[in-house]
Every structure is written in C-alpha cells, then in structure tokens.
C-alpha cells in the first residue's frame, strides 16, 4: 500500500478521544493549514474557512452545542447523540468548517443552486483532507453536523462566540484528540458494487453476476455507536 492508502485505512471515526498527545497547538494548526492550502476547489474559488479551537474555546463550543441539541432532539435521539456531544468536548480541539458566503458569490460563476452544490464539494474536500491530516498526526476524530442552518440563524452563536465574519456559514465540526479506544473491524460492501466497470461488449442476454446489496449483512451505524458508549 502507498502512504496515501495507508492514511485512508488509518482514518477512522473516533468517538472516545482525549488530550494525551505531545503535539503542540501550533504543530496541529500548521499541519491543517498545509493540507487545506492544496485542496482542490470548484473554479479555484477557495471558499472554505477552517477555524481550529482549543482549550476554553473548544469547551465553550461543545457546551453551546450540548445546550441547544438537548432541547431540540427527541429523547431517543438525544440518548444516542448526547454521549457523542459530551465526548467531543473531551478532546484536544475541534476543526469548525465554514463556507464564506461572500467568497461563494464572488468566486463561483454559477446560479445560486449550483453555487450551493459547489461550496458543499469544496467543504467536503477540506473535511477529508483535514481528517487524513489528523490521522497522519496520530490523532482521531469524527465529523459532526450540529447547529447547521445559516438562514435560520442556528450557527450564529458560533460567529458571535468566536468573533467571526457574518458571512461565515457553518457546515460541519470535527472534534479530535488522542485515540482512547481501539477500533472495531470495519465492514466493507462488495468492491464490485462500490466501483463498477461496465463492459459494453458483454452479451446483454447474459445475466450479470449479482452482488450483495450495499449494507447487507452489515452492523448498523447506530448499533455500533450504542456499543461504544454502553
């Protein structure tokens, strides 16, 4: 395997995180900066803004998320996600992913509906690059989507808390820290279902080989999540 595919395999969702690392905040931040700089963006628009919070700022971010989500989630969902939120605040820090709405309008020459698609692509690329960077640093993390909704004002509390521009629209959060629990083996769908190579010369009357449906015989995500915090 190449170094890149090694990192891909190393990157896993890590819900039980801690502060046991010798890395400095500057070393972590600089590694994230270097990764973000080379991430591809639609039309080279470079609309993503990553805000890395540590220490008190990190705790306050997750306290705000906790207070809001506890009131809006139903009991069953809170029973599942409450421990995730509480655990997220126990790590070294969090990468907050924003899209600069002003930059989106200025740098992406497309209709608004297309701009929304492109900016999500931009942010997704940044999220994956940051996650691989954390894996390279020996840190674990997860990708969360709490308080998402710029038009509804759901993410305003973070702009106010961190003194960020009004144009910053929150897209995701990535709490990270030391890996405090071993990973369970990962389930994979059939690779021929995930990546398909059509052969146009195959006789169309021949029934193609069938493969298991995506998700078949897989443990559900929420079953795994429940086992982590039980």
**pLDDT one-digit tens code per residue, 33-91:** 999 999 999 999 999 999 999 999 999 999 999 999 999 999 999 999 999 999 999 99
Residues spanned by the domain of 25: 3-229
What gap in Å lies between CA 217 and CA 192, rounded to an integer? 16
Which pair of tokens denotes residue 213?
Answer: 């449906």
Radius of gyration of the chain (CA): 20
Angle at CA of residue 123, ends 120 and 127, nearest 5°: 135
CATH (domain of 11): 3.40.109.10
How far apart (Å, rounded) are the C-alpha atoms in residues 2 and 12?
18
Q: Where are the alpha helices (DSSP H) in 52-165?
A: 55-72, 75-88, 101-107, 112-136, 156-162
Structural domains of the chain, count: 1
pLDDT at 137: 98
Residue 2's pLDDT is: 79
Report the range of poorest mean pLDDT among 17-31, 131-145, 147-161, 198-212: 198-212
Type and span of the H or E element at 26: helix 25-37
Q: What percent of the chain has pLDDT over 70?
A: 88
Asked if 107 and 41 count as a contact pair (C-beta separation under 8 A), the reply is no
Residue 161 sits at the vertex; the CA angle it makes with 81 and 13, to the nearest 5 degrees, is: 30
Least confident of 29-33, 129-133, 207-211: 207-211
The overall average pLDDT reported for the chain is 91
Q: What pTM value is reported for the model?
A: 0.86
Question: Residues 57-71: pLDDT tens digits?
Answer: 999 999 999 999 999
Question: For 180-188, what is the mean pLDDT?
Answer: 91
pLDDT above 70: residue 219: no
pLDDT band at 223 (very low <50, low <70, confident <90, very high): confident
Please state the length of the chain: 230
């Amino acid at each position: 395997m190449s170094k890149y595919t090694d990192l891909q395999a190393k990157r896993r969702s890590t819900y039980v995180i801690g502060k046991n690392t010798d890395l400095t905040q500057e070393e972590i931040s600089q590694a994230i900066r270097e990764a973000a700089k080379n991430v591809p963006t639609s039309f080279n628009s470079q609309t993503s803004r990553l805000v890395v919070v540590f220490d008190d700022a990190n705790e306050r971010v997750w306290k705000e998320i906790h207070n809001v989500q506890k009131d809006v989630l139903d009991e069953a969902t809170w029973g599942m996600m409450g421990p995730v939120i509480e655990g997220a605040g126990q790590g070294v820090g969090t990468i907050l992913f924003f899209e600069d709405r002003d930059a989106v309008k200025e740098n992406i020459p497309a209709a608004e509906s297309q701009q929304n698609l492109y900016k999500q692509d931009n942010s997704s690329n940044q999220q994956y690059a940051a996650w691989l960077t954390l894996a390279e640093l020996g840190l674990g993390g997860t990708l969360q989507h709490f308080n998402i909704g710029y038009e509804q004002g759901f993410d305003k509390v973070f702009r106010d808390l961190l003194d960020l521009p009004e144009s910053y629209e929150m897209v995701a959060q990535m709490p990270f820290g030391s890996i405090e629990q071993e990973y369970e083996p990962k389930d994979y769908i059939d690779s021929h279902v995930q990546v398909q190579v059509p052969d146009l010369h195959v006789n169309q009357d021949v029934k193609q080989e069938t493969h298991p449906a995506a998700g078949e015989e897989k443990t559900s995500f929420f079953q795994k999540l429940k086992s982590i915090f039980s």
